[in-house]
Amino acid sequence: MGKHLNFLLLVVLSITLVSCNRTEKQRTIKLAHGLDTNHPVHKAMVLMGEELEARSEGKLKLEIYPNQQLGSERQCLELLQIGSLDMTKVSAAVMENFSPNMRVFGLPFLFKNREHTFKVLDGNIGRELLDGGQKYWLKGLGYYDAGSRSFYTMEKPVKTPEDLNGLKIRVMESVTAMNMVSSLGGSPTPISYGELYTALQQGVVDGAENNPPSFYLSRHYEVCKYYALDEHTTIPDVLIISTHLWTTLSSEEQTWLQAAVDKSVAYQRELWARSEKEAIEAVKKEGVEVVTPDKSLFKEKVRSIYESYKDDGPIYDLIKRIQETE
């Protein structure tokens, strides 16, 4: 009887130890992105990892792969879809190829100002768009600020839309971005961000468009000495998680992760505001001519893009809702 009791106690103890080991087992979440480690997005991700590890008491850990180590933004999304990567950060312009309603962010001059942008992103419209990719195995967790995109060129400044005539302008893999550049008179040329510096050097394209920190940190100012702050689009970065991972997380783990994301979003937006000003001053010191063109000239040229969406119910509804957001 004594031996039998000792055996039962041993079994119970073993089960308890196994349960403890399962509970304390650390899970590593792999996150890849294409930006430099000095970029506000990467710094915010580092904070996210620290916050996640603290909230989960070490049960969840974030492993970050920057600088396109695991591929371009499109390739990272494809890795998420098959469950080979857990998380990534992509531009909403790239995301539109996987979640069609994200196209709305690529429309030029959609937002009134930065405050209006954040009201939309952090409200019901933003949440709907984050959730819209789930049927494609891609769930949005939050939006990082990516500022406004403007044109930079090698040979001459872009002061009016006519200055784009005949110029090959690099764009992201986005139909909306290509339509915008075409409507302004340029020739849109999709090229991977990682290949853009060489493409500019070799004259494959005459210019590109991006926000100030990306223009500076990519060192594209070494090739392009003209930056026109027309601020044609305000396209956020989107933090995406594979539903293959999300659905395996417990509700508690999901809460930890979302809270870490939310904290990193707030931090990134603070860093971004500072980095925009610093980037403009830095490129000026490097000899870049920064001009502020009349935006109304550009707005008039792209008016037809909005008209083309009147027959697209879901997108046109989103446009109206965004414009009506106060």
Average pLDDT for the chain = 91
Cα separation, 197 vs 203, in Å, equals 10
Say whether 256 sits in a helix, a strand or coil: helix
Q: Which domains does the chain have, with CATH numbers?
A: 149-234+288-310 (3.40.190.170)
pLDDT tens readout for residues 18-52: 434 444 578 999 999 998 898 899 999 999 999 99
Q: Tell me the β-bridge partners of 139.
A: 241
Beta strand extents in 212-326 (DSSP E only): 226-233, 237-242, 289-291
The sign of the dihedral angle between the CA atoms of 249, 254, 260, 266 is: positive
Model confidence, pTM: 0.83
Q: Which two tokens stand for residue 228?
A: 């026109």
pLDDT tens readout for residues 100-133: 999 999 899 999 999 999 999 999 999 999 999 9
Q: Tell me the β-bridge partners of 265.
A: none
pLDDT tens readout for residues 180-214: 999 999 999 999 888 999 999 999 999 999 999 99
Top-confidence residue, 23 or 228: 228
